[in-house]
A = this chain, B = another copy of it.
Amino acid sequence: MGNDAMNELPSPTVLGAAMYAVDTAARGFGVKLEVLERGRAEATMLVRPDMLNGLGVCHGAYLFALADTTFAYACNSYNRVSFAQAAQIHFVQAGRAGETLRASAVERSLRGRAGVYDVEIRNPAGGLVALFRGESVATDRELLAAVVPK
């Protein structure tokens, strides 16, 4: 995308706020959007006691939720509604109750409608908790128009 087209886009801050306002699921997961730029996002999530599985560590689906949400913000940052087509996660070490985990999403490729984004999740000590790679598909719909609550 050229710089001119970029300059006409709503700022990532505006886009992030609009998305987050109507993203009931993300708020339920306790995911907080911390940084949003074109193609890049960071978000945090506190591991709550209700997020633990039967073995007492953070359920993998909450790690996925944090990574997937961060990915979603990154790939929607161009104001085009984009969907996750597929995603893969590698679980490296357990997330523990009380830890605030931080996910960082970066764009690895964006060609036409197809994007690939890498997300890593780290614990407060900087240790790697999970690696995630997501594939996005962009539509022609404008994001701001799509997410404004009716």
Chain A interface residues (CB < 8 Å from chain B): 19-26, 28-29, 49-55, 58-62, 64-65, 68-69, 72, 81, 83-93, 108-109, 111, 114, 116, 118, 120, 128, 131, 133, 135, 137, 146-147
Contacts and interface: CB of A to CB of B under 8 A. Distances in A.
Contact of A83 (B19, B22, B91, B131): B91
A93 B83 CA distance: 11
B109 A128 contact: yes
A20 B84 CA distance: 30
Given A50-B24, A53-B23, A93 B111 contact: yes
Contacts of A64: 61, 64-65, 68, 87
